[in-house]
Structure 1
Amino acid sequence: MATFSEYFIFGLFYGMIIVFCLYNLLMFFAVKRRQYLFYVLYNLGIGLYEMCNDGIAFQYLWPNHPSANIYGFGVALFISSIFGMLFTVNFLYLKSKAPGFYRAVLVFIGLRTLFFLACIYDTRLFNLKVIELLPLMLVFSAGVYVYRKGFKPALFLVIGYGFLLSGFIVKILLLLKWIPYGTLVYYSLSICFVIEMVLVSFAIGSSIRSLRKKKTTAQKRIIEQLRINEKLTQTLNHELTAMVEERTAEIKQKAEIIEKQNIDISLMNSLLKKDNLELNLNIEKATRARLTAKVPDFEEFSRIYPDKESCFKFIADLKWQKGFSCKKCNNESFLAGQTLFSRRCTRCGYDESVITGTVFQNGRIPITKALYMLFLVYSSKGTISSYKLAQILDIRQSTCWTYNSRMQRLFHERKEELKKAGEAGWSRLVLD
């Protein structure tokens, strides 16, 4: 009856190991994170160690090779120690959250590997099982440190390692005969292994919940940012509309002034020849100012599009005014890309630049000057020369010729469309 109870307990213990291994293996295939695979290998090492310790491995795996039990202990402890440390490194994000502990764990992994090789050469070293306390104490300390820095899922891992550390200490005290022998004491390490596995499962679950919460928070921030961007777009559109209306009113006012001056000059022409000449000069200057007002200089143009960000925003609004559609898979959902105003497809991950598919693609001059060049080409109805552009923009004539040729080609191809476009017609030349 006692033997049956013992084997029943063994079955429960090894069954739990198998269940936890399968669970984490499925998590590995689902999430593709190495920490789950490391934990599977760690549990397999623990299972092999307990089989060697209980005699089950000798009874069923190598009954005709007694010496293999010595190597079985060593290999099992090596596997559980190495992959336990690797699991801790990945689960606690030690490389970013605790670089000092990260380097210390890597050193311990190297030293433990060297010690294992020495044990193969001299099997008596396999009896130094107390050495396993060192990596366990290290990962326990790392867990405490990371938890105190605010990583909540580390709490269950710390408690689990605490139970495991207690089990090792009780086992050592039993081997040193400092505490009396008993069934509970003898199986204390196995019990602690089970508790540790349960608590680590809680830690993994807590980590998954934490990741989901971060993902939800990030999505909310993205949505909020999109709302803010929409409001900014509306505000900018209102401001641009107000500026256009104000400029139109100024032009009308100047036209009325010029017309009035022309009437006055006609009436005074017969009486004041000198004044007439002076007035004619004033009219000519005013006429030039009127014509100049229609085509702003680069400084005035830069007030509307002062920098790269405002230019890219203008292009993005034109390019995706009817919504985003991925060029690779036609997906309509996106996130912010790696570059300014670029958009990354949520399905295939293609990151599309804001100037891809525009007249500015593969350009090598500042976008502010390229945008103004396009405006000048449109304002001159495609007649402006590359020499004139080079003078205005302070760019080499050969570069201006390349850009001017491309822009004039688009202008002549879309001439009929531009006639109906009104004041915003020059923006029709942006998309290639």
Structure 2
Amino acid sequence: CPGVEAISTGQPKEVETVGILDDGSQITVKIRAFPVFGKDGESEGFIEVVEDITRSKHLMQEVEKALKLESIGIFAGGIAHDFNNLLTAILGNVSLAKVMLKPEDPAYDKLTATEKASLRARDLTQQLLTFSKGGAPHKVTTSVKEIVEESASFALSGAKAKCKFSWPENLWPVEGDKGQIGQVIQNLVSNADQAMPEGGVIKIWAENTIIGDVTELPLPGGRYIKISIRDMGKGIPEEYLSKIFDPYFTTKQRGSGLGLAVCYSVIKSHHGLITVESEFGIGATFYIYLPASEKAADIETEENKTIGGEGTILVMDDEEMVREVLSGMLDFLGYQVELAADGAEAVDLYQKAQQTGGHYDAVIMDLTVPGGMGGKEATRKLLELDPGAKVIVSSGYGNDPIMAEYAQYGFSGVVSKPFIVETLSSTLHAVITQST
């Protein structure tokens, strides 16, 4: 008891502890005890001040968590950028070789499997990029139903566990990054599967919900989509619940401890919230809150074939292997290609083409060039030379704010590394054929 200690030592005593309210809920309290002295200078009693610090404690934990994520992000961003450049060469050559073959060719299925493995590797680098400082999601208005079902099915490929979905007919759309939200679902469903080694049912459902201005949830009032993912595993011990979203925290023998931290970071970047409830021995339920959008969900079409073209494309990238694979892709698609190693060289080539009556139908600019002029500055200079220049920004740092809001920086299109030839062809076709 802090009061007894204050009396025995003659000094103020301060402790933090957990208090239980009448309704059974817990709060964190700070107790300050002060000794009371008599005329003879001896301690005769004490005064205690009890303060509810639940909210401030929670806010402090959130700040500490954010600082951890930021420090990881500075390191992770560079690794993911370099790795995506390597994957661009691998995936680009594989996809190019694949489109040169007929589906009945014996090598076609092998290349398809390699392409899928490369895309999985791309997803892993995206988990690193999620931590990167300054990252921004590529938001579109979409329905979470398709994202959740596709991501959950992918996560359970070959697993014993199965998913049971429940969706309301009038589920509101959200404005979010489909890849990042899908990554969150994959992580949570994979964890749920691992919690049930003998198999079982993972229940996933969603609902429209309105959160008032006064709520226990640290969210502003408004319309939200609430996604719930429940497993039938062993559950999470109570002492771990406050730590599971911390980077590197894990109870598994294998694993990085980043999966749930990624989930936390993604949902936070979408101005949402992720929470968990669990009873040890029964199972766990994760809840995701995402702000609902007032817009209708975008309708997308699948790009399963290459679109050929003609004209001359200027490619700027500091990595020789990336320049080579892009040159091969563009040559296959029917374009003429000229290459530059940095932004200054690209601007010089563009200016010389103008002076000699030449013309570039589009420019593909690498965003980041260590020690040289990058795509942002080079594009600004190109637009000064030619306001009608059509520039596509490309980067292995897919979470850069410029990639999310490319039009604000003068770019006409965006392609994130690594990419397949079909993606490159459709992006080029859309940019070249758009009216200026």
TM bin (shorter chain):
under 0.3
Larger strand percent: 2
Larger helix percent: 1
When normalised by structure 1's length, the TM-score is: 0.23
When normalised by structure 2's length, the TM-score is: 0.23
